[in-house]
Amino acid sequence: MSEGNTPYSTPGGSPVERFAEGTAAHTVPQGESPERLGWIWKIVNALLFLGVTVMLLSVGAQVLTRYLGVSLTWTEELTRLVFQSMMFLGMAAGFRTVAHPRVALLVARGPTWVKKASAHVYAVVGAAFFIVLMGMAWRLVMQQINSGESTPSLGVNMYLISIVLLGSAALALLAHIQTVYFSKEMRRAIEEGEITA
Amino acid sequence: MSLTLLVIFVILFLLGVPLAVSLGVGVIGTMLIYDIPLNLLPQMMLSSMNSFLLVAVPLFVLAGSVMAGGGISDRIFSAAQVLFGRYRGGLGHVNIVASAVFGGISGSSVADVVSLGKIEIKAMTDRKYPRAYAAATTMATSTLSSVIPPSILIIIAASTAGVSVGAALAGGLGPAAVLIVVLMVVNYIVSVRKNYGEVTRTRFKRGLGVVLASIPALGGPVVILVGMFGGAFTPTEAAAIAVFYSLLVGAFVYRDMKWRDMPKMIVDAGLTSGTILFIAMVANVATYIFTIDGLPARVSDWVLSMTTSPIIVMLLMGLILVFIGTVMDIVAAILLTIPVLMPAALAAGVDPIHFVVFLVASLSIGLVTPPVGVALFATSYVSKLPMEVIVRAAVPHYTVMFVALAILAVFPELITWPAELLTDR
Amino acid sequence: DEEQPEGEGEVESQTLRMAIGDPAASSVGVTADHFAEEVAERTGGSIEIETHPDGTLFGGDQNAAVNLLGNGTLDCTIISTSVYASFDARMNAMSLPYLFDDEEQFTEYLQGEPGQELLDSLESEGIKGIQMLTRTPRHITNSVRPIEEPSDLDGITIRVPQNELWVNFFGSLGANPTPMDFTEVYTALQTGTIDAQENPLEVPVNNRFFEVQDYLSLTEHIRDGYVLGCNQDLWESLEAEQQEAMTEAAENTFEFRIEDDQRDVEETLASLEEEGVNVNELTSEAKQEFQDAAEEVYPQFSSLVGEEFFETTLEYVGR
Ligand code: NA
Ligand code: NA
């Protein structure tokens, strides 16, 4: 995809593109030291791969078996549970490439000190949100372990899904720290406001 | 309460904090100030994603990548260029029609943008439309998916309002037609005046080859439409069928599909959807605060204190709904606004089907309107353009969409006529 | 300053939020409003209940509502026993197909010992179960033929909740029970993806399913109830008289609901027949056939309910 005719291109495409190119086997951008804790994100990618595949096959099986008159009765529930988990993981992984939509108008036009400050604001506000979310998700996990909430068809304990949310909040927190303080490239991207999506 | 939330939200997003995080911190701040238990946060985030309907989002994203990777979209848009490339703005019109057909299937503006949008933007930029204009067109046309039958949103709205679902679904054809017309007019005028897009003529023999080669690709929507209206699968399930069909055609008919690209496409589908839906997760918590604060009720009182003319009431409601659509999850917005706004509309003498369909149309326009339209985010995401660039390019589209809303507010027949024609209402 | 002595002068009025999943005009909505009025009256206005319909306070996710009620985010709710079954398997017991001989037995079950045991069980989740409420039985609507005897279900694709009770029961009758998100049911019935759905009468009526369904068979195959509950800590913070007033208001609401439902059903059936919906009731022989078929699959449900309460329940209804 060519971006050459827009003033918003950066050499080598946006980080989203660079990331996308390296998803299957994550490659290190030139001039950057290898990503710390890269193995964590490899696991996240593997889970996303597995989860989306399961959703696809489960919905497919739902259509096929109903058509054949022998409906599987757990497909809807399975799809929904996996979907919930995947969306939280995907949300967290989005922070690794600073892919979440922002209004970068003021930041991108501002003087250097505004740009510098905006990266810290980005990190601090994001961290605050995900730390609160982690704390509250933890309480929910405890509540659900205590109440024994489980799904009607597969009997999956609901605290497992809340643990995914908890883990995703932790991953998002990690991604904030990595992008702002350990990746020159991502840091610049945040300061320039170039990746608003 | 609502004001506190909105103020924190606006300050943070102007500082460059991601919108969903800004809204989330606005919610947390409000909960702390007004002593609302923070337990709400994870629980509402979980319940926002506890939805089978939303499963269509990642699946349509995947379908979009497979169609691009398998050479399907190339063939569709090459054929479109052969057929319509001789006219100014031809591919822009194709973009509109594509959303009417595919978006009609997905029933979701976001799914429309993330699946088809990527392809549409690429096809248009390849043929020398500016990327921003391609993105703006793609975004504006996504509103069609919310109103063209079968629209899940209209079903939810009609059942919440207690009006005929069948009539409301048929009524959705009214806004769809009006939107298609105004968007085509805009596309024509802008393309001609700014000289957008390549005008090409293809010789008949070559052109015939290109068009014939596109038939398996165009079979996708046919299979899906026939399967869906024939009862083989539901609109959400159609997303998975779209993936399977595109895989088959890409791998065995065109043979462009590279299996080693699949893992990346699948991972990206999860990543993209999670990123796009983050705002919906947080909006679910914000909805709680707006609800206990009685925001919709106050808005309704205010409307009725201004006027009782049905036309002016509808125009005002259109504005309010577009605004609500920008800051709130659309399903939550439907559930919240119908009980509150509908009595005011009925009191002013508005037809209930007219109101319900108009409401969905307005909210769907809210989805593409800044600052927080989810479909606007999605467009920004797939086009990799900053939102403000897309918004600027879409000024003509916004203008005519608001004109379209005004037309729909003033002429209820546009909605009630198809409703009466197609059902025995 | 010293605090005002309680009981004298103005007691500060307290507003409780009651969250429900159904619309305000639905039978649960009307019930919640009735309860609110009764409570206001019986507490002399010291407790006001504010109803929030359409699930807006819990994102439309009823399981979330139970958690939020348990941790005190929500004050009170009216939620179906089949939702609580995700938290306590015993709540499944009353939904055994064709368990009760008639309406009266069902009412007694809810008011009696088994119902009380279920209410008490909620305490472990931080919920004060104040009152069980009835719900009208589930019926089948479809677009193929009237369901007059079990064999009529043969080959019918029917949307059911994802719960063994439904799946095994309908499966044993030769139907094709299929799961589906509720929001897709209207379109699926219209296009013929599914032939049938089953729900308490008010559901197909409120969701306009009869625009796309020809037959309503009053099969009364499965029942569930509602639990009117409040957060436990909140409940304990109330004065004894207030608790008593709320309990009485809930008991009154129980009676109100039965009367209101009966009136509703009569009116609804009359208007459906007028609209040309083909309505049929089961003959007593047919009902017996269904009941026999159901009892054959009961053994499969023992572990689903929990053996002990399963036996208690069967004993209570005399099976
Ligand atoms: Na649609
Ligand atoms: Na489009």
Q: Mind listing the pLDDT tens digit for each residue in C225-243?
A: 999 999 999 999 999 999 9
- Which residue type is seen at C102? D
Q: Which of A102, A15, A88 is nearest to B270 (CA)?
A: A88
Q: Would you say B132 and B392 are in contact if contact means Cβ atoms under 8 Å apart?
A: yes
Residues 63-122, chain B: which have Cβ within 8 Å of A?
122
Query: Which residues of chain B neighbour C212 with C-beta distances below 8 Å?
Result: 166
Checking DSSP bridges between strand C215-218 and strand C278-281, what pairing results, if any? parallel
CA C183 / ligand 1 centre spacing (Å): 13
For chain B, the 3-state helix, strand and coil shares in percent, each to the nearest 5, are 80, 0, 20
**Is-contact C195 C140, C-beta < 8 A?**
no
**Residues in A touching B52 (Cβ below 8 Å):** 76, 79-80, 83
Query: 3-state class of C42 per DSSP?
Result: helix
In DSSP terms, which residues pair with C138 in a beta bridge?
A: C200
* Secondary structure letter of residue C51 according to DSSP: E
**Letter for the amino acid at B284?**
N
Per-residue pLDDT tens listing for chain B (425 residues): 889 998 999 899 888 898 889 999 999 999 999 999 999 999 999 998 998 878 888 888 888 888 888 888 778 878 887 888 788 888 899 888 888 876 666 667 887 888 788 888 988 998 889 999 999 999 999 999 888 876 778 877 887 787 887 788 889 999 999 999 999 999 999 999 988 888 888 888 888 998 898 889 888 878 877 887 788 888 778 889 989 999 999 989 998 888 898 999 999 999 988 987 888 888 888 888 888 888 767 877 787 788 778 888 899 889 888 888 876 667 777 877 887 788 788 888 899 999 999 999 999 999 899 877 878 888 988 898 988 899 999 999 999 999 999 999 999 999 999 888 776 54
Phi first, then psi: what are they for C230, rounded to 5°?
Answer: -130, 165
Task: Show Cβ contacts of residue B293 under 8 Å, excluding neighbours closer than 6 positions.
Answer: B1, B2
Residues of C in contact with B228 (CB under 8 A): 191
Between the CA of B59 and the centroid of ligand 2 the distance, in Å, is 18
Tokens of A17: 């593109």
Task: Tell me if A93 sits within 8 A of B271, measured CB to CB.
Answer: yes
Interface contact C81, partner A, CB < 8 A: no
Q: Considering only the beta carbons, identify the residue of B50, B229, B332 that sits closest to C56.
A: B332
CA angle B249, B252, B256 (to 5 degrees): 80
Is any Cβ of chain A less than 8 angstroms from the Cβ of C144? no
Q: What is the pLDDT of residues C268-290, one digit of tens each?
A: 999 999 999 999 999 999 999 99
Name the token pair of C153. Answer: 């279900």
Q: How far apart are CA B336 and CA B330, in angstroms?
A: 10
Mutation target among C58, C193, C205, C275 for the B interface, most CBs of B within 10 A: C193
Query: Is the pLDDT score of C158 beyond 90?
Result: yes
Interface contact flag, B234 C58, Cβ < 8 Å: no
CA distance, residue B315 to nearest chain C CA (Å): 26
Check if A58 contacts C (Cβ < 8 Å). no
The CA distance from A50 to the nearest CA of chain C, in Å, is 23
Portion of chain C with pLDDT greater than 90, in percent: 83
Q: Are strands C76-80 and C226-231 parallel, antiparallel or unpaired?
A: antiparallel
- Cβ contacts (< 8 Å) between B248 and chain A: which residues? none
Smallest CA–CA distance, residue C206 to chain B, in Å, is 6
Residues of A numbered 77-136 whose beta carbons fall under 8 angstroms of chain C's beta carbons: which are they? Answer: 77
Integer Cα distance of B409 and B422 in angstroms: 21
Instruction: Show residues of chain C in contact with B332, CB under 8 Å.
Output: 56, 59
Those chains having 3 or more beta-carbon pairs within 8 angstroms of chain A are B, C
- Mean pLDDT of the region A148-169: 94
User: Which among C20, C248, C47, C14 is positioned nearest to C131, based on CA atoms?
Assistant: C248
pLDDT digits (tens, 9 = 90+) for B174-209: 999 999 999 999 999 999 998 888 888 888 888 899
Mutation to test the B interface, candidates A5, A47, A102, most B Cβ within 10 Å: A102
| Chain A touched by B270 (CB under 8 Å) | yes
By C-alpha distance, the chain A residue nearest B19 is: A102
Task: For residue B55, give the nearest of A79, A93, A102 by CB distance.
Answer: A79
Question: CB-side exposure of B294: number of CA atoms within 13 Å?
Answer: 7
CA–centroid distance, residue B115 to ligand 2 (Å): 10
**What is this structure's pTM?**
0.85
Extract the tokens encoding A81: 């549970």
Choose the mutation target among A145, A149, A159 for the interface with C, i.e. most C CBs under 10 Å. Answer: A149
User: How far apart are the CA of C299 and the centre of ligand 1, in A?
Assistant: 45
What is the structure's pLDDT at A50? 98
Q: How many Å lie between the alpha carbon of C161 and the closest alpha carbon of chain A?
A: 9
Reported as a single tens digit per residue, the pLDDT across B346-401 is 888 899 999 999 999 999 999 899 877 878 888 988 898 988 899 999 999 999 99
The answer to whether the CB atoms of B275 and A91 lie below 8 A apart is yes
Determine how many CB atoms are found less than 10 A away from the CB of residue C275.
9
Distance separating alpha carbons of residues B37 and B40, to the nearest angstrom:
6
CB B278 within 8 A of CB A99: no
ipTM over 0.90? The verdict is no
CA distances from B389 to B9, B109, B323, B372 (A): 22, 20, 20, 15
Does A70 contact chain C (CB < 8 Å)? yes
Residues of C within 8 A of B283 (CB-CB) are: none
Question: Given a contact as 3+ CB pairs under 8 Å, which chains touch B?
Answer: A, C
pLDDT at C10: 53
Which chain B positions have a beta carbon within 8 Å of C23's beta carbon? 160, 162, 339
- Strands of the sheet with C226-231, listed across from one edge: C47-52, C14-20, C76-80, C226-231, C127-133
The pLDDT value recorded for residue B378 is 85
What strands, in cross-sheet order, belong to the sheet with C138-142?
C176-178, C157-159, C196-200, C138-142, C215-218, C278-281
Q: For residues B339 and C216, what is the distance between their CA atoms, to the nearest angstrom?
A: 29
In the predicted structure, residue A182 carries a pLDDT above the cut 80:
yes
DSSP track, C52-77: E-TTTTTTT-HHHHHHHHHTTSSSEE
Q: Which helix (H) or strand (E) holds C141?
A: strand C138-142
- Identify the pLDDT of residue A28: 40
Task: Test C55 with B335 for CB contact under 8 angstroms.
Answer: yes
CB atoms within 10 A of CB B423: 17
User: Which pLDDT belongs to residue B163?
Assistant: 82
**The predicted structure's pLDDT at residue C297:** 94
Nearest to C106, CA basis, from C94, C117, C119: C94
Of residues B226 and A45, more confidence is placed in A45
Q: Which residues surround ligand 1, an ion (CB under 5 A)?
A: B 104, 107, 148, 151
**In this model, does residue A22 exceed pLDDT 50?**
no
CA B153 – CA B162 distance, rounded (Å): 14
Question: Among C198, C221, C224, which Cα is nearest to C209's?
Answer: C198
Question: CA-to-CA distance for C269 and C265, rounded, in angstroms?
Answer: 6
Q: How far is the CA of B166 from the centre of ligand 2 (A)?
A: 26
Beta bridge partners of C17: C50
Query: Do residues B158 and B172 make contact, with C-beta atoms less than 8 angstroms apart?
Result: no
Say what the pLDDT of residue B105 is: 66
* Separation in Å, CA C82 to CA A84, B115, C10, C63, C89: 22, 37, 41, 10, 9
Phi, psi of C15 (to 5 degrees): -105, 125
CB of C303 within 8 Å of any CB in chain A?
no
- What span, in angstroms and rounded, lies between the C-alpha atoms of A126 and B24? 9
Q: Nearest CA to CA, how far is C78 from chain B (Å)?
A: 18
Give the DSSP letter string of B58-88. Answer: HHHHHHHHHHHHTTHHHHHHHHHHHHHTTST
C interface mutation test: which of B1, B34, B39 has the most C CBs within 10 A? B39
| Inter-chain residue contact A75 with C163, CB threshold 8 Å | no
Nearest to C159 by CA among C111, C203, C199, C208: C199
Note the ligand closest to the C-alpha atom of B119. 2
CA of B18 to the centre of ligand 2 (A): 26
Q: Give me the residue from A73, A76, A149 closest to C63, CB to CB.
A: A149
User: Is residue C130 helix, strand or coil?
Assistant: strand
Other C-beta atoms within 10 Å of B50: how many? 20
Contact B166 C212 (CB under 8 A): yes
Query: Residue B257 corresponds to which tokens in the numbers above?
Result: 């599909």
- Cα–Cα distance, C122 to C70 (Å, whole number): 9
CA atoms within 13 A on the CB side of B128: 12
Closest alpha carbon to B234 in C35, C186, A157: C186
**Residue B105 in tokens:** 């299937």
- In this prediction, residue B377 carries a pLDDT of 83
List subunits contacting chain C, requiring 3 or more Cβ pairs under 8 Å: A, B
Continuous segment of H or E residues that includes residue C91:
none
Best to test chain A binding among B266, B376, B392 (most A CBs inside 10 Å): B266
Q: Are B190 and B394 in contact (CB under 8 A)?
A: no
Which chain B residues contact residue C64 at CB under 8 A?
43-44, 46-47, 50
Q: What are B215-242's pLDDT values in tens digits?
A: 898 888 788 778 877 888 887 788 899 8
Q: Is C61 within 8 Å of C26 (Cβ atoms)?
A: no
Q: Which of C48, C54, C80 is nearest to C66 (CA)?
A: C80
Name the DSSP letter for residue A150. Answer: B
Determine the distance separating the centroid of ligand 1 and the alpha carbon of B110, expressed in angstroms: 12
Find out whether A14 and A194 touch, Cβ atoms under 8 Å. Answer: yes
| In the predicted structure, residue C254 carries a pLDDT above the cut 50 | yes
Give the pLDDT of residue C31: 96
Please determine, for residue A17, whether its predicted confidence score (pLDDT) is greater than 80. no
Interface test with A, best of B8, B15, B38 (most A CBs within 10 A): B15
Beta-carbon separation of B46 and A3 below 8 A: no
Look at residue C34 in the predicted model and tell me its pLDDT.
97
Contacts of A22 (CB under 8 A, 6+ apart): none
